[in-house]
Amino acid sequence: MSLPRPTLRTLTGPLAALLVGVTVAGCGIRATSVPVDDGPAPSRVACAIEHEQGGDGAPQAGPDGELRIALVCSGRVVDVRRQVPLRQGESAADRLAAARTLLAELRREPGPREQEAGFTTAVPEDLRVFAPDQDDDSSALRLSRHPNELPPFALAQIVCTFAATTIADANRQVLLGGPSSEPGKPLKLYECGTALRTTTEAAETAGVPF
């Protein structure tokens, strides 16, 4: 008469624990008595709103005042569409008015849909833009803080938002400077390149002295 073979269901105590340890080891898994915390699961954000795809190109004007505004999402600068009442023109007054309107858009917190898609802004709330100094080129704009000293990605947001408007020149370059009281810091031409959009350190060396 043969006796039934013991199973893990019928074994208790130290013998069951030993068999469990042997089984786990046989599967190539190292047993541990300490809970392992691998941290939270990586978050995934869309960086796009509805069917809009965030791109790396310069913002483009659209119908009915629709513009692309550059915001920060998932470690890079991405464009989103917004309805902006922007009057564009070639005169210095029109360019300054457009720059102030766009900078106000960049300063304000993203809306609920933008936040849900993962967008934020790095542009300081107190940042302002002014007309060029008397000796500056007429296409220049001066910020209340030097462009290369802005928070990470703030410069990319400004340059990439300005790039496809009449604020930029024919080559989509933007001429910016800091406060006029800063000696030894010339105006610089900035363009919306991939490095500026994707690398936080790029702002420190961005721009070509004008």
Average pLDDT (85-97) is 84
Which carries the bigger pLDDT value, residue 103 or residue 25?
Answer: 103
71-100 burial code (b ≥16 CB/10 A, e <16): bbbeebbbbbbbebebeeeeeeeebbebbe
pLDDT tens digits along 43-75: 456 798 864 443 444 444 444 567 889 999 999
Q: Beta strand 76-83 with 129-130: parallel, antiparallel or unpaired?
A: unpaired
> Can you read off the two tokens belonging to residue 187?
């105006």
Domain boundaries in the chain?
Answer: 63-209
143-164-159-74 Cα dihedral, nearest 10 degrees: 140
Mean pLDDT value across the chain: 78
Going by the DSSP 8-state scheme, the letter that residue 167 receives in this structure is T
